[in-house]
Amino acid sequence: MKHLKIASVALLMLVFSQAKSQNTEFEKPDQPAKCKSIRAGKFLRANYPEGIFYMTIKDNVQTEYFNNGKDYIKSTLVFIDDCNYKSIVLEKSDKNDPVQIGDVFNNKIVETQDNLVKIQSKIDSNQFEVIYIKEKNK
């Protein structure tokens, strides 16, 4: 059963992260990556409308919103160093979502450029990549 859950989570995240985010290129990545940019703010996914997905991070709490903000997954962030952190799922609104309370995602910021952040995320033996766009302060 655990393997089915892991496979479902990996498939869900792979579909969300790979389908459209690959169109966003890092032509001149920051050297070194500006990893602290993930610590606070509002983030979107490349080529996804805000109604499908957006994420906020504040005070080491990450909240991912789906379905026009009706559903969410809230996680606590534990930073290992500036570019590596764990996100531990604290609560979720959709009981059918394959992500479970207590799941731990190991994340590594691999590239940044301007307001783009590329993250490799791993849960158990499944790894995927996602690109976030940090919303600039208005």
- pLDDT tens per residue, the chain (138 residues)? 555 455 445 444 544 444 444 456 788 998 999 999 999 999 999 888 899 999 999 999 999 999 999 999 999 999 999 999 999 999 999 999 999 999 999 999 999 999 999 999 999 999 999 999 999 876
Instruction: Report pLDDT for 47.
Output: 81
Q: Please give the biggest Cα pair distance in the chain.
A: 46
**CA 17/CA 101 separation, integer angstroms:** 21
DSSP-derived letter for residue 37 is G
Tell me if the bond preceding 32 is cis, omega within 30° of 0. Answer: yes
Chain segment 34-45, per-residue pLDDT in tens: 999 999 999 999
- Secondary structure string (H, E, C) spanning the chain: CHHHHHHHHHHHHHHHHHHHHCCCCCCCCCCCCCHHHHHCEEEEECCCCCCCEEEEEECCEEEEEECCCCEEEEEEEEEEECCEEEEEEEEECCCCCCCCCCCEEEEEEEEEECCEEEEEEEECCEEEEEEEEECCCC
**CA 65/CA 71 separation, integer angstroms:** 6
Q: What is the pTM of this model?
A: 0.80
